[in-house]
Structure 1
Amino acid sequence: MKDLDRRLNVGVFLCHLNAEYVIDLSAGIIHAAADYDVNIRIFPAMYVSAYNNPSQPAEYDYQINTIYDYAIDAHLDIIIISLGTLYSFIIQDQPETFLDKFKDMTLIIMEEQVDGYYSLMLDNKVEFGKCVEHLIVDHGYKKIAFINGKKNNRDSEERLAVYLNLMEKYQLPVDPSWLPYGNFSKYCDNTIDELLDKNPDLEALCCANDMMALVCYRVLKKRGLTVGKDIAITGFDDVLSSFSAEPPMSTVSTNVHLLGYRSVVRGIEVYHGRKPEVEIIPSQFMQRVSCGCSNIRPNIYHNCHYNIQECVERALTFTMHHLDSEPLTQGFRSYLTQLFELCMSFETGLSTDEFTERFSSLLKKSLHEDWFNLLKNYKLNFAIKDFLTLVMAHANDPSVKQYLNDQISAMIDFILSSEAQKKEVHASEERRLRWLTSRIVRESLINANDINAVLTQMLNTLHLIGIRASYLYLFDAPIIHNPMNTWHKPQQIQLVAYHHGPDCFILHDEERITPIGELFDNKHVASDERQLLSVYNLFLNNEQYGLLVCDLTEEYLGTAYTVSLEISTAFKFLNINRRLMNISTTDELTHLYNRRGFFDQVNSLVSINTGKTGILFFADLDNLKIINDCYGHEAGDQALISAASILKQSFRRNDVIARIGGDEFIAFALLEDTTLINHIENRIDKHTLHFNSEKKLPYFVELSYGYTTLTCTKDITLNEIIKQADELLYERKKQKRPSPLRGEGES
């Protein structure tokens, strides 16, 4: 039964959060979540080795897949899956097998078509066809290579099919060596070099995405060739760097933001009963210079009536390209209306000073609007510049025309300077984030013996980076997950620490235990506010340590992933450090502390509990030599392990217990109440009696013990106090049975 009154929870499976494509996609999803008031839970597939960088090993990429299993129990109503990226690079199963895990939820598929599910895809055919045909018909190129994306990827295959069909239509040859796979990678330099070495007479390189096209720019520059003159280049996606490339890249502009936005809207509609179908998000061919065209473009308002409403709508279509978000569209429409009204009213009596002040104020205002980051700045530039040109064409006064022309120059300077400022701010922020994240491993090692200090430092770093709240979950022990093994999701996990803003909280014992289905919904995380939560695997190589859940804003999605890598590395080092410490401070047989471990722990406790009373127990396993002689050393070892178990059951969790010799044990406890001594003695006797009556071994496991009390001071000498406890122990041993063997020592 669907609860229609509560806020829906939408899970999102995305791949590679730092990629421009995914940044745009997630922005659309997050804006729709705000407009429709739904919670977002992001499960990012971030590579250990990003698929597109062959210099990094992909040996442990399989670890990423485990993140999806946590979505099954996460109380999600809708899951949006970027299947085009996930399936190509991460998922090992067939799509249907993978999707079947989530059959009880409403699924929306992006970038691929899967029968039975609502599928949203970008248009790979119409506008890309215009791009290829432009190279063939308008420029007359005959030797055109196509740089493929990745094998078995729908986008890549559809774009290849368009290219092949048009080459066949115009009876142009296609050599197999003209069709290399660049894997959608910004590191495919070798592929492009090999292509050009084999085919030095190619006239055009048609690329399946902008990243590979930008590699072509780089390779051509190294060879001393000019893009657009010696060889034409086209791309696909219209990422921001495609316009700022020199020369500007001819490409197909995809509305990735709209794809993300619609996926949320359609998810809600399907959840409420809409039938699955296939929906295509339109694209747009952007004819620029890299294809061989001149840098001349038509005014975007050509054939447009000279009135504000029509010009505003033309500008909206050009800049926002089918944006669905009504609040953002209305905000931008209102801004353009104000700006265009100001420009058209210049001849009606405004002084140049007043116009300049208001014009400058409106330009600066744009930097702080919600819609500003959704626009490609060059489009906003053209929309305003072309409108001023239109106003100039209708102006009668030459001085007005000159003044407006000056304003165009000033506007371009403003946008360029704001772009430069944005880049500097971004670079400065990147330096700050690198510095903050670099501290995590170093300070974790410095504080390796104080886990609370380590956890607090990690959370403080997450807060300083700008993340609103973080929740650090750890497994009881690191899970070794190898590629040949089936992943078994744990049923519970420990929430060891979290922060809300600057406030950090360390949890202890039972309050840490969290059912795996409550990662996002427990008393520490629950909130009445709409949430954007993202969960990250904490792992290194084949070891999984836990999960990091972050409540954050969209600009920190990729940053939180980077921090999760640093935290994973810190836990790897801490785990190694703990193993080394265990070797040097732990008794291998009983897993109690050894002599060194005992003295380290007790000296630390005594120093921080000055003035408090403590109790020191010294115990021997009775007649170990006889057990060894009669039943062998394996029996003797088992007797020692059993004695250690009796002591662990008899003391409290925070008390310190050690084996410091062949048959010798020692324990320390803070004495909050004098009755504790009797309780410990009674528990030792009780557990000893229970063990011997239950196990029915051919020998008795019994302990002789002595104790002494002490006052904690920083200059206390433990060895002297141990001697006192030892003397009392031997007094007690005189009262014990002479033989541990059943029948001989029994009375």
Structure 2
Amino acid sequence: MKEHRRYNIGILIGGVHTYFPKEHILGIAEAAEELDANVCFFLGTQTKDFFEDMLGGTHKNSFDYQFNTIHDYSLIGGLDGLIINYGTLGLQLKNESAERFALKFNSIPTVFLTEIVHEPNCHSLICDNKQGIRLVMAHLIEKHHCSNILFVSGPAQNTDAKERKAAYFEMMERYHLPVSDKMIAQGDYSEFVDRQVNQLLDDNPNAEAIVFANDEMAFAGYRVCEKRGLKVGKDILITGFDDCERASGMDPALTTVVQDGVLMGRMAVYDLIYKLDGKDALSRRVPVSLCIRESCGCQEKNGKTPNTPLNFVDQIHKLNRTITNMKLELINFQRKSWFIPSLARNLNDCMDDEHAFLLEAMENMRELRTKCTYLFLLDEPVVYRKDDKWKCPENLRLAAYYKKEEVDAFHLYDRLPVSKEGGICQLMEDGERHQFMIFLLFSGERQYGLLACDIQQEEFPFFYVISLQIGLSLRYLEISKAEAARRREMTKDLEMIRERNRILGIMSANDELTGLLNLRGFTEEAKKFCHEEQGQRTYLICGDLDHLKEINDNWGHPAGNFALRSVAEILRGCIRSDDVLARVGGDEFLILLKCTEKGYQETFRKRVKDACTYFNQKSDKPFLVEISLGIAEFCSGPQTDIQQVIATADQFLYEAKKHRRKSIRRP
């Protein structure tokens, strides 16, 4: 192949939790490295089936539909060509045919995997599905004389699945065998189809064989048969389609149709770059073969299985390699999983500073040894509900990155926008070859952007979890920013109210109920102190009687007045004669504590807490009297803004009140 510039290739692929898409990814990665091409995997996955079938419960609030949108972000990817595994994306798309889907993306050369399209600029690679099922059916009927053969189909809208199901009907008709609706179950290509297989066997107690449209569903068939006391290969025959790594290691080994997913992925890359180089590439079908093992009723002879491509020793070696790799992946994932709580904690510590949050996220990517990582954020989160019409947002920007040991993050007004002209790939150009796994950042119905990590394909599961955690942390960051804005508004409102009260004036400097100073009296005393005692460490304390409303509602306002007077006495007993104490609201008290001792806050908190405990032990009331405190330290002087100090203490009080008990009713 002639020399060409380094192309940017995008791969749209879903269902990456299953075997065959992983094979495609492996083949694509190998070929891209050989041909020196950048690749960007726009990844989708589904978790609903896992929760419902593997964990035995329903998962009502699944947000897997969010992954239906990630492929649209490739339109602003700055890509030269696309490989689309429509067979995995189509499982989740609503009312969108492959032809219509192709029209959205065929502005650049496109290769469709596991799907046939006839649109301009598009090219198809698909395995010979019908021939594979024909081979399986002919073997079961001619070799094992089966007539009552059941079928577990793949997703109804998937072309592979439709062709395999059509071949099943074709072969049953060819051999004049009866078929009813109850002999066919609708699967989804995942391993979690136990319910469908159970129903199929309930409806067909005399079944002789089950043909599964892929291996992963066949594994569920093994599991169901074992629970029902059926011996696979003897009581009932089972076949699959794909010949994934686990197939030869099943007990008994699975008879299946062999299609090479890695080869198909490699072919897709070579065909696409062939097209990008200006040459023609023809759509084609990838041939399949039948691998006969024991699950169909055939028995080993002399260490070999008839018509099996690999001899028994090779199968054992292949299985051992698979088991070893699975163990290493599990160990690696378990070790890395300890990192996820640390990531969550580190990000949660930055909830008051978005810039620090982004830097911390990239520092964690450095610790995870990614080659480089880019974080793209929307200007504002997009709310996308399951039944909404989706429109890809146009305000995606580069918010932070880690590359070549450099970490940086940008404030909103400094972030570079992503557009068709300045796409995702173009923002990441640094002269090196990259393999990016691109994850959607979302939490529930809210999308925040994309995370692009240059990692190896086997690292996908761990970084998928990382992306979910970052999406969740972005939601917390959004909530934190909203709460901070509300607190600022509340502070302004409080200042406005207090200012109005000062303007209106207070007839007396004392509170009638408790005999303490009121706000006016307190403010005058505080100003006087700040002018006379310059440079002195001082503490301003906001105190709040916990649950005054609960006292009034349950025991009446006289009880509430008693509690307020009691708070006044408790606080008066905790301060010195020259400190200033006031009641400035319904349940709010202020103290000006003239103390030069550094870090006196905790000492004072304990003193008040002990005083409340002593009071409640002596009290015969059905409720407890407890006080929440917010304490602000400041240095007194003529320029001291007392209202600002009060606002600061009030913010601390707001945080302290989060930890008060839920009710002050005595146990």
Whether the TM-score (by the shorter chain) exceeds 0.5 is: yes
Aligned residue in 1 for 2:157: 152
Output the CA distance in 2 between the equivalents of 1:172 and 1:420. Answer: 40
Q: 1:170 to 1:566 in 2, by over 3 A?
A: same
Output the CA distance in 2 between the equivalents of 1:32 and 1:563. Answer: 27
Q: Return the match for 1:83 from 83, 86, 91.
A: 86
How far did residue 496 of structure 1 move? 2.5
Output the CA distance in 2 between the equivalents of 1:52 and 1:297. Answer: 44
Output the CA distance in 2 between the equivalents of 1:133 and 1:221. Answer: 26
Residue 8 of structure 2 is aligned to residue 9 of structure 1: yes
Q: Is contact 1:124–1:159 with CA below 8 Å preserved after alignment? A: yes
Output the CA distance in 2 between the equivalents of 1:193 and 1:58. Answer: 26
Aligned residue in 2 for 1:721: 640
How far did residue 280 of structure 1 move? 0.7
- Secondary structure in 1 aligned to 2:151? strand
Q: 1:581 to 1:511 in 2, by over 3 A?
A: closer
Structure 1: give runs of 5+ residues left out of the alignment.
Answer: 303-316, 320-377, 384-411, 596-712, 727-747
How far did residue 151 of structure 1 move? 0.9
Question: What is the number of equivalent residue pairs in this alignment?
Answer: 505
Output the CA distance in 1 between the equivalents of 2:145 and 2:643. Answer: 101
How far did residue 515 of structure 1 move? 3.0
How far did residue 8 of structure 1 move? 1.4
Q: 1:79 to 1:585 in 2, by over 3 A?
A: same
- The letter for the 1-side match of 2:86 is L
Residue 437 of structure 2 is aligned to residue 534 of structure 1: yes
How far did residue 488 of structure 1 move? 4.0
Aligned residue in 2 for 1:560: 463
Q: Return the match for 2:73 from 70, 73, 76.
A: 70
Q: Superposition pairs for residues 311-460 of structure 1, below 5 Å?
A: 381-382=313-314, 420-460=323-363
Output the CA distance in 2 between the equivalents of 1:589 and 1:177. Answer: 69
Q: 1:197 to 1:592 in 2, by over 3 A?
A: farther
- The letter for the 2-side match of 1:84 is G
Residue 572 of structure 2 is aligned to residue 573 of structure 1: no
How far did residue 540 of structure 1 move? 1.6
Q: Return the match for 1:143 from 145, 148, 171.
A: 148
Aligned residue in 1 for 2:137: 132
Q: 1:235 to 1:593 in 2, by over 3 A?
A: farther
Q: 1:155 to 1:297 in 2, by over 3 A?
A: farther
Output the CA distance in 2 between the equivalents of 1:554 and 1:218. Answer: 29
Aligned residue in 2 for 1:618: none
Aligned residue in 2 for 1:544: 447
Aligned residue in 2 for 1:628: none
Output the CA distance in 1 between the equivalents of 2:496 and 2:198. Answer: 62
Deviates more, 1:478-487 or 1:530-539: 478-487
Q: Is contact 2:300–2:306 with CA below 8 Å preserved after alignment? A: no
Aligned residue in 2 for 1:25: 24
Output the CA distance in 2 between the equivalents of 1:488 and 1:21. Answer: 30
Deviates more, 1:500-509 or 1:559-568: 500-509
Output the CA distance in 1 between the equivalents of 2:642 and 2:105. Answer: 65
CA RMSD of aligned residues (A): 3.5
Q: 1:9 to 1:52 in 2, by over 3 A?
A: farther
- Secondary structure in 2 aligned to 1:516? coil
Aligned residue in 2 for 1:99: 102
- The letter for the 2-side match of 1:107 is T
Aligned residue in 2 for 1:109: 112
Q: What per-residue deviation string (whole Å, max 9, x for no partner) do you get for residues 600-652 of structure 1?
A: xxxxxxxxxxxxxxxxxxxxxxxxxxxxxxxxxxxxxxxxxxxxxxxxxxxxx
Q: 1:174 to 1:487 in 2, by over 3 A?
A: closer
Q: Superposition pairs for residues 188-227 of structure 1, below 5 Å?
A: 188-227=193-232
How far did residue 516 of structure 1 move? 3.4
Q: What per-residue deviation string (whole Å, max 9, x for no partner) do you get for residues 538-584 of structure 1?
A: 11222111211112222223432221111111111222233233323
Deviates more, 1:551-560 or 1:237-246: 551-560
Residue 371 of structure 2 is aligned to residue 468 of structure 1: yes
Q: Is contact 1:51–1:89 with CA below 8 Å preserved after alignment? A: no
Q: What per-residue deviation string (whole Å, max 9, x for no partner) do you get for residues 113-141 of structure 1?
A: 11133111011122331211111111111
How far did residue 419 of structure 1 move? 5.4
Q: What per-residue deviation string (whole Å, max 9, x for no partner) do you get for residues 480-537 of structure 1?
A: 23345444444333323221265432334543232334453456x2221112123221
Q: Superposition pairs for residues 581-596 of structure 1, below 5 Å?
A: 581-587=484-490
- The letter for the 1-side match of 2:268 is S
Output the CA distance in 2 between the equivalents of 1:171 and 1:165. Answer: 10
Q: Superposition pairs for residues 665-684 of structure 1, below 5 Å?
A: none
Q: Is contact 1:498–1:504 with CA below 8 Å preserved after alignment? A: yes
Percent identity reads 29
Q: Return the match for 1:167 from 172, 184, 205.
A: 172
Deviates more, 1:269-278 or 1:548-557: 269-278
- The letter for the 2-side match of 1:64 is F
- Secondary structure in 2 aligned to 1:150? coil
Output the CA distance in 1 between the equivalents of 2:633 and 2:223. Answer: 67
How far did residue 247 of structure 1 move? 1.0
Residue 46 of structure 2 is aligned to residue 47 of structure 1: yes
Q: Is contact 2:123–2:283 with CA below 8 Å preserved after alignment? A: yes
Q: 1:587 to 1:490 in 2, by over 3 A?
A: farther
Q: What per-residue deviation string (whole Å, max 9, x for no partner) do you get for residues 685-734 of structure 1?
A: xxxxxxxxxxxxxxxxxxxxxxxxxxxx98534895226999xxxxxxxx
Output the CA distance in 1 between the equivalents of 2:321 and 2:108. Answer: 44
- Secondary structure in 2 aligned to 1:280? strand
Output the CA distance in 2 between the equivalents of 1:92 and 1:58. Answer: 22
Q: 1:439 to 1:57 in 2, by over 3 A?
A: farther
Residue 239 of structure 2 is aligned to residue 234 of structure 1: yes
Q: What per-residue deviation string (whole Å, max 9, x for no partner) do you get for residues 145-196 of structure 1?
A: 0111111222112112222222222222222211111222211111111111
- Secondary structure in 1 aligned to 2:110? strand
- The letter for the 1-side match of 2:147 is K
- The letter for the 2-side match of 1:182 is G
Output the CA distance in 2 between the equivalents of 1:206 and 1:487. Answer: 38
Structure 2: give runs of 5+ residues left out of the alignment.
Answer: 499-631, 646-667
Residue 478 of structure 2 is aligned to residue 479 of structure 1: no
Q: 1:235 to 1:522 in 2, by over 3 A?
A: closer
Aligned residue in 1 for 2:619: none
Q: 1:167 to 1:551 in 2, by over 3 A?
A: same
- Secondary structure in 1 aligned to 2:241? coil
Q: 1:581 to 1:126 in 2, by over 3 A?
A: same
Aligned residue in 1 for 2:33: 34
Q: 1:318 to 1:219 in 2, by over 3 A?
A: closer
Q: Is contact 1:61–1:90 with CA below 8 Å preserved after alignment? A: no
How far did residue 443 of structure 1 move? 3.2
- The letter for the 2-side match of 1:13 is L
Aligned residue in 2 for 1:620: none
- Secondary structure in 1 aligned to 2:294? coil
Output the CA distance in 1 between the equivalents of 2:644 and 2:22. Answer: 67
Q: 1:433 to 1:270 in 2, by over 3 A?
A: same
Output the CA distance in 1 between the equivalents of 2:319 and 2:158. Answer: 37
Q: Is contact 1:10–1:77 with CA below 8 Å preserved after alignment? A: yes
Q: Is contact 1:128–1:285 with CA below 8 Å preserved after alignment? A: no
Output the CA distance in 1 between the equivalents of 2:105 and 2:495. Answer: 45
Q: 1:559 to 1:592 in 2, by over 3 A?
A: farther
- The letter for the 1-side match of 2:289 is Q
- Secondary structure in 1 aligned to 2:90? helix
Aligned residue in 2 for 1:392: none
Q: 1:522 to 1:129 in 2, by over 3 A?
A: closer
Q: Is contact 1:52–1:186 with CA below 8 Å preserved after alignment? A: no
Output the CA distance in 2 between the equivalents of 1:21 and 1:171. Answer: 33
- The letter for the 2-side match of 1:520 is I
- The letter for the 1-side match of 2:115 is E
How far did residue 18 of structure 1 move? 2.8
Q: Is contact 1:470–1:500 with CA below 8 Å preserved after alignment? A: yes
Q: 1:145 to 1:449 in 2, by over 3 A?
A: same
Q: Is contact 1:492–1:513 with CA below 8 Å preserved after alignment? A: no
Output the CA distance in 2 between the equivalents of 1:182 and 1:196. Answer: 14
Output the CA distance in 1 between the equivalents of 2:424 and 2:367. Answer: 22
